[in-house]
Amino acid sequence: MRLDQATPEQLRQWETELAAQYQAILDQKLNLDLTRGKPSAEQLSLSDALDGILAGDYKAADGTDTRNYGGLDGIKEARELGAQVLGLDAANVMAGGNSSLTMMFQAAMTGYQFGFNGVESAWKNIDGAKFLCPVPGYDRHYTVCEQLGIEMVTVPMTATGPDMDQVEAMIKADQSIIGMWCVPKYSNPTGVVYSEDTVARIAALGKIANPAFRVFWDNAYAVHDLMSNPPQLANIMEACVAAGTEDSVLQFASTSKITHAGAGVAFLGGSANNLNAFRKVLGTTTIGPDKINQLRHMKLLPNMDALSAHMQKHADIINPRFEAVLSKLDAAFADSDLGAWEKPAGGYFISFDTQPNCAQAVVKLAADAGVKLTPAGATFPYGKDPEDRNIRLAPTVPSVADVNAAMDVFEVCVKLASVRTKLA
């Protein structure tokens, strides 16, 4: 089906046929969900050995009694694992509680209220302080900015990461840009891995930006490969050292999609200066993280080999679901102009771009037919996709049979919405 070559009669005929198909779907009274970028119960069960794994031995490697207060930076062995995930020295990593998003908000609070270089550098003192947001992106990053009243400015994602020509031009032109969100590996939702050139250019931004500028390098999918020989992400800290901009990047990761999503360990990595500023704020809110949980994680995943073997088991569970989505998209749209998507080599999402002005209609049609999709616009700041095109598909939770059933509905909804938009 190609809309660009269709005559009005053809479009009307398609509309009639598709409306009939859609009605037949409505009659099935489905209840399917492709919204949640979270692990399935089967994936969570891979880590159930965490429960009871300490068998009464609460001592960390250096003898710390993890049951007690203290240890703001986290236990040494957890910091070491985080350091390997983030490509840093353990001295530059803190291990925290169950959520990297919490650490991102705490870091943003630090920048906004207290400043990474003393209060005179606080973002609240910068008129019109703004964050760059590559789009489509992760909605909860936007919420952090909204909560703090930081304006968001979008920049398009390309196949190699954010459009760096635009990023550099914007930063040169506007010193009130004080931050940028990045999901550098298997970006949420496009699945893009930033190229080496992009990583080097992001590291160099610290040379042209306001000294208060910080990249929030959210490496949530650092080890979430779905293929053998996965794409490699260049080391941002090495690039920063080469550019002399170590203070310009804060790195984040967590075990949320490695072990138990609600009960994992989060990591923050950065320069000594950045970590000191962060510690000062964190130390006001807690005497230390849940070190027992950190120790449990280190017993389950003592090193990178164990972590890789564990991630392979996730990939074995997730892969058939991704393959189901991709083969359905291929079968439905490969020879059409109705949508564009990429085949990600890892992560949790497949990003689908409809024709302009169709995404909201697709999501509504699907919802009415009992298939929940992430709200259109959620991948853009303020929930506004200016072209109304992007839909994030998250296939990890449903069974393969349910993914297939949901994708059959998705196909009809995309076709129907596209034809109706063209006719309108």
> Binding of ligand PLP at residue 254 (CB under 6 A)?
yes
Buried/exposed code over 168-197 (b: 16+ C-beta within 10 A; e: otherwise) = bebbeeeeebbbbbbbbbbbbbbbbbbbee
- Going by the DSSP 8-state scheme, the letter that residue 225 receives in this structure is B
Identify which of residues 125 and 143 has a Cβ nearer to ligand PLP in the complex: 143
**H or E stretch including 222?**
none
Residues 208-237 that bind ligand PLP (CB under 6 A): 218, 220
**Options 101, 133, 193, 300; binder of ligand PLP; rule CB under 6 A:** 101
**Distance in Å, CB of 99 to ligand PLP, minimum:** 3
Residue 100 interacting with ligand PLP (CB under 6 A) = yes
Q: To the nearest whole angstrom, how small is the minimum distance from the Cβ of residue 266 to ligand PLP?
A: 5
Stretch that binds ligand PLP, among 74-82, 96-104, 230-238, 329-337 (CB under 6 A): 96-104
Of the candidates 97, 200, 95, 108, the residue with the CA atom closest to the CA atom of residue 148: 108
Give min distance, CB of 372 to ligand PLP, in A.
Answer: 16
Give me the torsion for CA of 107, 109, 115, 118, rounded to 10°: -100
Q: One-letter amino acid identity for 290?
A: D
Complex with ligand PLP: residue 257 or 415, whichever CB lies closer: 257
d(C-alpha 252, C-alpha 266), whole Å: 8
**Residue 251 contacts ligand PLP per CB under 6 A:** no
Quickly count: other Cβ atoms within 10 Å of residue 216's Cβ: 22
Residues 188-207 that bind ligand PLP (CB under 6 A): 188
For the residues of 72-107, what is the DSSP string, one character each?
Answer: TT--HHHHHHHHHHHTS-GGGEEE-SS-HHHHHHHH
Residues 42-81 close enough to bind ligand PLP by CB under 6 A:
none
Q: Which of residues 136-165 bind ligand PLP (CB under 6 A)?
A: 138
Residue 393 beta carbon to ligand PLP: minimum distance, rounded to whole angstroms? 14
By CB under 6 A, residue 266 contacts ligand PLP: yes
99 binding ligand PLP? (CB under 6 A): yes
Query: Residue 284 is encoded by which pair of tokens?
Result: 């006001």
For the bound state, the minimum distance from the C-beta of residue 275 to ligand PLP, rounded and expressed in Å, comes to: 18
**How big is the chain by its Cα radius of gyration, in Å?**
23
Number of residues that bind ligand PLP (CB under 6 A): 12
Stated as kind and residue range, the H or E segment containing 324 is helix 304-333
CA distances from 113 to 21, 250, 278, 338 (A): 55, 17, 11, 46
Which span sits near ligand PLP by CB under 6 A: 74-82, 93-101, 233-241, 326-334? 93-101
Residue ranges in contact with ligand PLP by CB under 6 A:
37, 99-101, 138, 183, 188, 218, 220, 254, 256, 266
